[in-house]
Amino acid sequence: MKAHTCLALVFALVVSALPSIAQTSATLSGTASAPAKSSAKSSASKSSSSSASKLDINAATVDQLKALPGIDAATAQKIIAGRPYHGKNDLVSKNIISKTEYDSIKDQIIAHHVQGAAGTNAKAAPSTK
For 95-113, the pLDDT digits (tens) are 999 999 999 999 999 999 8
For the ranges 28-32, 63-67, 70-74, the lowest mean pLDDT is seen at 28-32
- The reported pLDDT for the residue numbered 45 is 44
CATH class assigned to 55-110? mainly alpha
- The reported pLDDT for the residue numbered 59 is 96
**Where does residue 64 rank: exposed (0-12), middle (13-18), buried (19+ CB within 10 A)?**
middle
Overall average pLDDT of the 78-95 stretch = 96
Residues 6+ positions from 105 with CB-CB distance below 8 Å: 68, 69, 70, 71
- The reported pLDDT for the residue numbered 109 is 97
d(CA 99, CA 1): 77
Most confident residue range from 5-9, 44-48, 125-129: 5-9
- Sequence spans of domains, the chain: 55-110
CB 62 within 8 A of CB 77: yes
d(CA 35, CA 44): 14
For 31-67, the pLDDT digits (tens) are 544 444 444 444 444 444 556 699 999 999 999 999 9
For the ranges 1-10, 15-24, 82-91, 107-116, the lowest mean pLDDT is seen at 15-24
- The reported pLDDT for the residue numbered 2 is 74
Strand (E) or helix (H) holding 55 = strand 55-56
Phi, psi at 55, each rounded to 5°? -85, 125
- The reported pLDDT for the residue numbered 96 is 96
